[in-house]
Structures are given as C-alpha cells and as structure tokens.
Amino acid sequence: MKRKLSRQALLSVAMVASLAVSTAMAQDTQTKNTDSKKVEYSIYLGASTPLGSFGQAPSPEFPVELFHTKLSWNDDITYGDADFVGANIGVKAKYNISGLKGLGIIATADVLFNTAADFYIKEVVDEDEDYLTEYFYSTYINIPVMVGANYNYAINDKVSIWGEAAIGANLRIITSDIFDYKRANGMDINDYTEINYDNCFTLGFQAGLGIMLKNKYSIGLHYYNLGNKAVTEKYTEITDYTNASGHHYVNIIEEPRTKPPLKTTMLLIRFGYHF
C-alpha cells in the first residue's frame, strides 16, 4: 500500500509541475519580448531500439535455421524475426528562463512503438495447407509525459549543441499475442492460444543530447528508462480436435500468470523541427 501511495504522490508531483509549466507559458505568451522567444515548440520523430531485458535473446526452443528469437523477459513467447523495430513521435514545449541564456524548462509527450519486424507470420508446411500456423505478435506501446530541463549552447548563429533530462509518468500498453495452429492430415486439430497483458502506469526518465541547426532543425540521441514493473498476463489455450475415429474433443486452459519485471529501456534517435 505504501508503494502505491508513493507512486501516486510522484505522479501527482509530475502533473502539478506540468500544470505549472503550462500556466507559466500561457502567461508569458501574453507579453512581448523582442530579444528572444520565451516559449519554443518542437515536433519530432525517429527510430528506437530496445535495450537490456526489453531486448531479445536467442531461443533454444526452435531450430537455429528458423531464426526464432524471443524477448528475454518473457519465456512464454518466441518471435519469428531476429530484429525488433521501433518508432517514436512526440512534441515538446520549452519555457526559456529569463537571465539564464540557453536554459529552459521543458514539458514533453511521446508515443513509442516497439514490435517484431515480422509481427504477423504464416507458416504453411505443404501446398495443401495440411499444417498451418499463424502468429500475431504483440506490440509494445509506451506513452510518457515528462517535465525537465534543457540547455542549449550556441556555437555560432547557425549551430548549437543541447542536452536535456526529464522525469514523469508513463503508460505501458502491450497488445495481445495470438497463435493459431491448424492440422488437417489424419486428425483435425485447431490449437488456439491468446495471451492478454495488463496495462499499467510506471515512472520513468529520459536523457538526451544533440545538435541544432539554424534554430530550426535538430538531431538527437536519447536514453529512455520507463520503469521496471512486473507484467500480469491472462493465458488462454483452446484445443479443438477430432481423432481418426471421429471422436470430438475440446480442452480449454485459462490461467493468470505473473511474469518477471519488464524493465523498459531503449535508445532513440530523433529528428526535430522547432518553431
């Protein structure tokens, strides 16, 4: 209970800080300042790669030639591609602090996607489709909202370097994994498995650095750590088969499972436009 209250308190602090920054920005835009912009906005997009336990490890459960891998945090799931791909998109507002050139308070909101490169796989053993397996692999979606600080150092009027750090709340979403196996050679079998995951809030932080060109365009490298929290899953397996004698059977397995904590860390590269 104490742990839950602590997280709620931290989330409340993050929300209050965000509100304070938004209020300050709204007030400042009503005043005129010809020396520099008090409020700057940016949009950005890029690619990401998972790190640590959020990455993948070789799976001993399948032949090497099939190139199957799995996320190392979850030994229930195997993935049909050695690569995990990711994308990110986001917005940022920066409130420049008067008297401290280059230093500002930032508020950010991002959407981060990570999924198997082959998130849908269909395997057919022969042309008659006597054996057919379909895989629909889960997508990992993280939506962090953070506040922090950004410092921009101008080398000249066209090039500057910047660094930033922020902390806040993250919504973690994992879509379902679905496996559908069919066999129609001598014995009709339909083995359907679906794994649903819980969605949750976590605490996270990010740090980044990069280059700004003409105060308009930027490229940056960011490290995101979006918390370390256990995953609760609902495992459902339905086996429907008819044997050679014509007897029909249905077997259903439903059980909740708690997986080891998923530490969501990733490295991002971003391209931004500032206005």
- Which pLDDT does position 169 carry in this prediction? 97
Residue scoring higher pLDDT (49 or 188)? 49
Residue scoring higher pLDDT (245 or 43)? 43
- Which pLDDT does position 95 carry in this prediction? 95
Q: What pLDDT band is residue 60 in, cutting at 50, 70 and 90?
A: very low
Question: Of the given ranges (1-15, 58-72, 86-100), which has the lowest mean pLDDT?
Answer: 58-72
Residue 108 domain boundaries: 2-274
Give the phi and the psi of residue 9 in degrees, each rounded to 5. Answer: -65, -45
- Which pLDDT does position 68 carry in this prediction? 33
What separation in angstroms does the CA of 170 have from each of 10, 20, 49, 56, 155? 12, 19, 18, 22, 34
Q: Using one digit for the tens of pLDDT, what is the confidence trace for 20-53?
A: 455 445 444 444 443 467 899 999 999 988 876 6
Q: What pLDDT band is residue 262 in, cutting at 50, 70 and 90?
A: confident
> How many domains would you assign to the chain?
1
What average pLDDT does this structure show over 183-200?
A: 79
pTM of the model: 0.73
Q: Is the pLDDT of residue 237 over 70?
A: yes
Question: Of the given ranges (6-10, 126-130, 153-157, 268-272), which has the lowest mean pLDDT?
Answer: 6-10
Q: Is the pLDDT of residue 222 over 50?
A: yes
The CATH number of the domain holding residue 206 is 2.40.160.20
List all residues 6 or more positions away from 205 whose beta carbon is below 8 Å from its beta carbon: 146, 165, 166, 167, 168, 224, 225
Contacts 24+ apart (CB under 8 A), 132-137: 132/181, 132/182, 132/183, 133/179, 133/180, 133/181, 133/182, 134/178, 134/179, 134/180, 134/181, 135/80, 135/178, 135/179, 136/176, 136/177, 136/178, 136/179, 137/77, 137/79, 137/80, 137/177
Which among 62-66, 117-121, 222-226 has the top mean pLDDT?
222-226
Q: What pLDDT band is residue 214 in, cutting at 50, 70 and 90?
A: very high
- Which pLDDT does position 28 carry in this prediction? 46
User: For all residues of the chain together, what is the average pLDDT?
Assistant: 76
Q: What pLDDT band is residue 84 in, cutting at 50, 70 and 90?
A: low
